[in-house]
Amino acid sequence: MRYEILGPIQVVDSNGTRLLTARKLEILLTVLLVRHDQVITTERLVTELWGENPPRRANAALHVYVSQLRKFLKQHGRSSSGAGARTAPGTPIVTRPLGYMLLLEDDEIDVDEFQRLMHEGRGHFAQGRSEETITALEKALRVWRASSLEDLKDGVVAHAYATFLEESRLECLELLMETYLRLERYREVIGRLYTLISQYPLRENFYRHLMLGLYRCDRQADALAVYRDLWEHLRDELGLEPCTAVQQLHYAILAREESLDRTAA
């Protein structure tokens, strides 16, 4: 069985791909996956499902949802592991004195694959292996099917994890764009960077990469226009100026500093 949460949550097994249609069950599975192989207390699960105003019989309702989720996840021929496990045969959800726990085996969740590829990409980048970096990071991004957990951010656990995943994806994109620039493959990323700054208008690294790529494609005016767009966004949204690195690049472009030339780089 494989769990995919980098997009709409789905379960993939020998019978195909299955989606949860009940929102409460989707939230419950999300929290158990986020904290897999850890005990999640009944109190925490109730808060994730109903917030600070749970129904009177919330614990009983949670028990029903767990039973429904176990039925959904049931796999023939697989039994739960772990000392003292108390669960229905063939399901990965374990009952503990304080709550529940979802047991996972290696490579059962797509997040693990993404993080493995990200770690591999960082290692290649640090060693100056740019082509290998691009291969690993492009594979990591292909693991994503959509923005993760976008509809399940009400609970504290899901919200925090969704934020962590989104930051990891943006880090992957920033490192990938920087690697393309390192290889002087400017025209390959200019279009992608324009899309990224439209999606993330306050993410300054994307602007910096785009400015440099445009300048090295002999498009100084366009590079300066990108800086103006960033300056206006930051001023209007936050009352701030661009970070030091972006300002220094702006001054260098205005002065046509030799350090920006491809041969110098």
Listed in sequence order, the residues at least 6 apart from 35 whose beta carbon sits closer than 8 Å to its beta carbon are: 102, 157
Taking only Cα atoms into account, the Rg of the chain, rounded to an integer number of angstroms, comes to 23
Res 159: pLDDT: 84
Q: How many Å apart are CA 197 and CA 207, to the nearest integer?
A: 7
Q: What is the pLDDT of residues 136-195, one digit of tens each?
A: 999 999 998 876 556 656 678 888 888 898 999 999 999 999 999 999 999 999 999 999
The torsion defined by the Cα of 7, 11, 17 and 23, in degrees rounded to 10, comes to -70
The predicted model gives 239-248 an average pLDDT of 96
Domain 2-102 -> CATH class: mainly alpha
Q: How many Å apart are CA 86 and CA 95, to the nearest integer?
A: 5
The predicted model gives 18-43 an average pLDDT of 90
> What is the helix, strand, coil percentage profile of the chain, to 5?
60, 10, 30
Between 83-92, 146-155, 235-244, 256-265, the lowest mean confidence (pLDDT) is in: 83-92
Query: Which runs of consecutive H residues, i.e. helices, occur in 39-129?
Result: 42-50, 58-73, 110-126
Between 51-55, 90-94, 216-220, the lowest mean confidence (pLDDT) is in: 90-94
Positive or negative torsion for Cα 239, 243, 249, 255:
positive
**Model confidence at 8: pLDDT above 60:** yes
In the chain, what are the domain boundaries?
A: 2-102, 187-265
Q: Can you tell me which residue has the tokens 């063939």? A: 90
The predicted model gives 13-41 an average pLDDT of 88
The residue among 253, 2, 264, 7 whose CA lies nearest residue 141 is 7
The CATH fold assigned to 187-265 is 1.25.40
Output phi, psi for 256, to 5 deg: 50, 50
**Model confidence at 18: pLDDT above 90:** no
Q: How many Å apart are CA 254 and CA 242, to the nearest integer?
A: 16
Output phi, psi for 68, to 5 deg: -65, -40
What count of Cα atoms within 13 Å lies in the side-chain half-sphere of residue 169?
19
Q: What is the pLDDT of residues 101-117, one digit of tens each?
A: 999 887 788 999 999 99
pTM of the model: 0.84
**Model confidence at 80: pLDDT above 90:** no
